[in-house]
Structure 1
Amino acid sequence: MDLGFKDRNVLITGGTSGIGLAAADLFAGEQARVGIIGRSAVRMDSALKALRTAHPEAKIVGFVGDVAAEESLQQAVDAIVAELGGIDHLVNSAGIAGTLGDPVDQVPAEEFLEVQRVNVLGAFLSVKLTLPFLKKGVNPTYTLIGSDSGFVTAPGMLAYNASKGAVAQLTRALSVELHEPHGIRVNSVCPSIVDTPMARDGMGVESFSGVDYPVSTPQDIGWLVLTLASPKSRAVNGVSLLADYGYHARSSFPA
């Protein structure tokens, strides 16, 4: 099926690893022009090399920038627009987990704020700074990467839970504000555990092999990103799509 991305311009924050990199690979495979932003120059070089090797005919560019620092992000966005010529779709995949496992009275305020700064302020700035370009885009969309942690909780994840709950509500608010006047759809994908470097680090494991719970691949979530961003999904707006194998629907009733 033609998903409608040929010759479209896609910008992905957090595009140097995990879900963001998988989405970049899939968009390039759909003949989109792709720009990625990440904080690490080393990971940027590695990601660009892998993407260009896999898709030698595609236009793929990348610039180092911090989604939570407005000037840095503006410079990266402007550089990518200069290369691609515009932005039709933005995927905000940049995020951090913070330290997991600490109870509320042991979470430093600075660390709590840092998680909000990257996960919430970063999403806000990514939308704010790209909006002038998406207003001119073709079938424009924002797709934010949320988490099932915006809907369900586990002890020791307070800062992350709060940030992803904010992303779910930001998705709703932006979908209302941007759709009618500008034709921009806004959705989010909210997975449970995904086998990424961030998840392995946060869980303190080297591998998810053999665990007794389902774990998605970055490609699994990348395909959901493409599904929501595709003009084939033009009726879908303001949705935070849970991708948790149905765990949110389970009752605690012992039956």
Structure 2
Amino acid sequence: MGKAAVITGADRGLGLAIVKEFLEKGYLVYAGQYMAEWGELGDLKKEYEDKLRIIPLDVGDDSSVKNACKLVQAETDSIDMLVNNAGIAGSAGDIYELEELERGLAMYNTNCLGALRMVHAFLPLLEKGEEKRLCFVSSEAGSISVCHRGEGFVYPMSKTALNMAVRMLFEELYPKGYTFRLFHPGWVKSYMSGTKSTVGKFEPEESAASACKFFAEELMQEDVLRMYDNEFAVWPF
């Protein structure tokens, strides 16, 4: 059997484009589906019947993550890669609009804690995989030293928290044979606010091509954790 990857937030946008890239590379892909009513994953399944598995998944919910892991475990005892892509965005947390902080809690739960849930649940499968690779889609928004934003506090804070979580995971798991990828996809015309953005520098497919290359290839220095963007520039975080 070829290599296998689990990808979260796979319904549309960047996540769906990453799924397509990995399928084209011959991976068996377990695609986390949050919105069953959104039909693109189902359409893709018709083209890659033997290589694409669609699994219901809400990374913000403990039971959903556990159930998704059980579905994967029913088919295989190992995976090679976990791609934590699922995320939500918005303007929650403006200092004059603190009533939006409830949405901010949802961002933390998905953008940071969701990734931790996934790593925790899938570690037994990754442990038996060939690559043991953990990939995380972050953002320049989470970089403290180059912060340029003055509103929408919570989304950047959630990505900063994700970056710290990845750093701590790296310290714990790299010595045990795991490799890490921390990725800033650039300004993508994404669906993170609910509908596809009409502004941005990159289409999801453009960033996904860079992401897949970064995630799948070996690095010269695996012992150093860096955040790369889709043009392979290094970002502080």
* TM-score (norm. length: structure 1): 0.81
Distance 2:197 2:115 in 1: 29
Partner Cα distance (1:30, 1:222) in 2? 13
Greater share of helix residues, 1 or 2?
A: 1
- For residue 235 of structure 1, give the secondary structure of its aligned residue in structure 2: coil
Corresponding residue number in structure 2 for 1:3: none
| Aligned equivalent of 2:189, options 195, 205, 208 | 195
User: Which residue identity lines up with residue 240 of structure 1 in the other structure?
Assistant: M
**For structure 2, which runs of at least 5 residues remain unmatched after alignment?**
none
Q: What is the alpha-carbon root mean square deviation over aligned residues?
A: 2.6
**In the alignment, what sits opposite 2:123?**
131
Q: Does 1:49 align with 2:35?
A: no
* Secondary structure of the structure 2 residue equivalent to 1:129: helix
Which letter maps to 2:126?
L
Of 165, 169, 174, the residue aligned with 1:170 is 165
Q: Which amino acid aligns with 1:51?
A: L
Larger Rg: 1
Amino acid at match of 2:44: L
Deviation per residue, 1:117-158 (Å, 9 max, x gap): 111110111111111111111112111110111122422221
Alpha-carbon distance, 1:50 to partner: 2.9
Checking the alignment, whether the CA contact within 8 Å between 1:148 and 1:244 is kept in structure 2 is no
TM normalised by structure 2 equals: 0.86
* Corresponding residue of 1:121: 113
Partner Cα distance (1:149, 1:39) in 2:
24
Tell me which residue corresponds to 2:94. Answer: 103
Give the CA deviation at 1:89: 0.3
Question: 1: distance between equivalents of 2:42 and 2:117?
Answer: 27
Q: Structure 1 132/245 Cα, relative in aligned 2: closer, same or farther at 3 Å?
A: closer
Shift in alpha-carbon separation, 1:35–1:101, aligned structure 2, 3 A: closer
Determine if the alignment matches structure 1 residue 61 to structure 2 residue 53: yes
Q: Who is 1:90 aligned against?
A: 82
Which amino acid letter does the alignment assign opposite residue 36 of structure 1?
A
Task: Using the TM superposition, name which of 134-143 and 230-239 deviates more.
Answer: 230-239
User: Alignment partner for residue 26 of structure 1, among 21, 24, 28?
Assistant: 21
Query: What 5-or-longer segments of structure 1 have no aligned partner?
Result: 1-5, 209-213, 250-255
Match of residue 211 from structure 1: none
Shift of 1:199: 5.5
**1:165: Cα distance to partner?**
1.0
Structure 2: distance between partners of 1:18 and 1:35: 17
SS in 1 for 2:192: helix
Which is further off, 87-96 or 229-238? 229-238
Correspondence for 2:226 among 233, 239, 251: 239
- The answer to whether the Cα contact below 8 Å between 1:149 and 1:192 also exists between their aligned partners in 2 is no
Separation in structure 2 between the aligned mates of residue 229 and residue 191 of structure 1, nearest angstrom? 12
- What is the percent sequence identity of the aligned residues? 24
